[in-house]
Amino acid sequence: MDISSIFLLLSVCGTTWAFTLDLDYGGVPLWINRFLGEPSVLTLKDRMDPGWFRAVNTQSCPLECDCPIQWPTALYCDHRGLTQLPSGLPSHTQYMFLQGNNITILGSRSLANATNLRWLILDRNQLLSEQLFTRLVNLFINNNNLTRVPVGLPSGIKQLRLAYNRIEKISEGAFQNLDNLTLLLLQGNRLTTIEEGDLKGLGVLNLLDLSHNLLETFPKHLPPSVQQLYLSNNSLTGLTGNSLHGFNGLRYLRLGHNKLRNEGLDPGAFNLTSLVELDLSYNQLTEIPTVPTTLQYLYLEVNDIQEFNVSSFCRTTGPTSYSRMKILRLDGNKLEYHKLPPDWVFCLRVLHNIYI
């Protein structure tokens, strides 16, 4: 084994020790930082006998839950058939796992004693729209029955996961005081449009997931701070020349599984040099759209493209004029590798992989 392989192995192992990847029902992976002492999102199934924990743990613990001594600030009450929050929550609780129950409502006093609560995971319950009064930093309410975004959310919240509910509309001002929110998951709901005041106040939002909704036009009035925007599995037909205007930091844009056609795409729709990855797969495109030369990853698989246009990637070619494309997917179209124009290699000179 050469020295480079050893360094690679050490770097991979170091990452494994520091972080553990846990499942998140919202579709975006959740990294649990072991160095910060954060417990796993996964349940305590197949771990030590909960009775043993209760016997050796001097801290108070609700009968419906498990309180592992290795994470004294964590409370595991998941998959217990609960219809309401357990009583007697310890005030030192910071992480509360309630996923997989039948909870329908949270009373305004339910979490009154849990003044230090930072993570609340309520995925896969039966929650309706509810007002929450807590000091949360991370709130998970994926796979419930919410019809609107909860109001009264604490201003310190950083992650809000509302995926796969029944939200049809965002109440104006719902996010107005969430100055610290960086991640918002709204995929799998019933949104048809984003109104002007819907996302007002989200000044530092980094990731916005609106995939699997009912959007027919590219949403306006999105926070310009967004760097990752997911709009796959909607019914979008095109983008105008100013659809991405103001998104100077946008790096990842996913538009797969829509109804995009070339006639609906303005030639300058993707003229954004900050873009690193663009997903246009599973649409109805017949031509490769014009993309910036700084783009590195382009996914166009399963469209109806019949011609490879070098000008879509390079307006000119030269010593400093070439595409930075690394991965290009064109499989599932009507192209053949041996029919590509001979000058494509001068444009895509740093390409790692091309799929046709």
287-326 pLDDT, tens digit each: 999 999 999 999 999 999 999 999 999 999 888 899 999 9
Q: Are 335 and 306 in contact (CB under 8 A)?
A: yes
Q: What is the pLDDT of residue 11?
A: 31
Q: Which of 329, 339, 276 is nearest to 306 (CA)?
A: 339
d(CA 158, CA 181): 4
Residue holding tokens 């990637």?
313
d(CA 197, CA 68): 44
Residue holding tokens 């796992």?
97
Q: What is the pLDDT of residue 73?
A: 86
Q: Is 193 helix (H, G, I), strand (E, B) or coil?
A: coil
* pTM for the structure as a whole: 0.86
d(CA 24, CA 40): 11
Type of residue at 229: L
- Of the CATH numbers 1.20.120.1200, 1.25.40.80, 3.90.230.10, 3.80.10.10, which one belongs to the domain with range 236-355? 3.80.10.10
Q: What is the pLDDT of residues 81-133, one digit of tens each?
A: 999 988 888 888 899 999 999 999 887 677 777 888 889 999 999 988 666 65
d(CA 6, CA 143): 43
d(CA 201, CA 186): 17
Type of residue at 257: H
Residue holding tokens 């000044």?
203
Residue 146 structure tokens: 């919410």
**Which residues, at least 6 apart from 48, have a Cβ–Cβ distance to it below 8 Å?**
none
d(CA 5, CA 10): 9
With vertex at residue 208, the alpha carbon angle to CA 203 and CA 213, rounded to the nearest 5 degrees, is: 135
d(CA 299, CA 207): 20
Partner residues linked to 353 by β-bridges: 327
Q: What is the pLDDT of residue 52?
A: 59
**Domain ranges for the chain:** 236-355
- Helix (H) / strand (E) element for 21: namely strand 19-22
Dihedral sign for Cα 19, 20, 22, 27, please: positive
Q: Are 157 and 174 in contact (CB under 8 A)?
A: no
Low pLDDT (below 70) residues in the chain: 1-37, 42-59, 108, 129-134
Question: What Rg value do the Cα atoms of the chain yield, rounded?
Answer: 24
